[in-house]
Amino acid sequence: MNSERTRFYRDKLNGKIFGVCAGIADYTGVDVLWVRLGVVGLTLMGMGFIPVVYFAVGVFAPIKPGYLYGDRQEQKFWQGVRQSPGRTARQVRARFRDIDRRLADVEAFYVSSNPRLSDEIERLR
C-alpha cells in the first residue's frame, strides 16, 4: 500500500488551524466533527501532550494534494482500502465476478436467439 492515496495528509482545505483533524478524518473515514471533539476532549481530560503532537503533525505532515480523489465515491473507496485492504480486495473481486456473470447472461441471451451468431462463436473457439 504505497499509493499516495493511502498516505496521511493534512487537509488544509477542510481544516481549521493546520488541517490535522480534517486529515485524520479523511484518513479514517470518521466525521471531522468527532475527531475535533475527541482532540478537545482528550486535551481537557489532562492529556497535555495532545496539542504538542497536533502541532508537530501540523508542521511535519504533507498537505493533501487537490487531485487526490476524483469524486466522493473514489474517496470512500480509498478510505476502505486504508481501513481494510483485504475486505476491499474481496469486494472488488465480487464486483468483477458479478460483471462476468452478467456478461455471460447477455452472451447466452444473444447466442440462443441468433443461431448464425452462435455458429460464428463456435467457429472461433
Q: What is the pLDDT of residue 109?
A: 77
Q: Which residues contact 64 (CB under 8 A, 6 or more apart)?
A: 9, 10, 11, 12, 13, 19, 23, 26
Sole residue written with cell 473514489: 74
Asked whether 68 and 4 are in contact (CB, 8 A), the reply is yes
d(CA 87, CA 46): 37
d(CA 56, CA 96): 43
Q: What is the pLDDT of residue 5?
A: 66
Q: What is the pLDDT of residue 4?
A: 66
Asked whether 13 and 64 are in contact (CB, 8 A), the reply is yes
Q: What is the pLDDT along the chain (125 residues), one digit of tens a residue?
A: 456 666 778 877 777 888 888 888 888 878 888 988 988 898 888 877 888 888 888 888 887 777 777 777 777 777 777 777 777 778 888 889 999 999 888 887 776 777 777 788 788 87
The residue among 100, 104, 79 whose CA lies nearest residue 29 is 79
Q: b/e string for 55-89 if b means 16 or more Cβ within 10 A?
A: eebbeebeebeeeebeeeeeeeebbebbeeeeebe
pTM of the full structure:
0.57
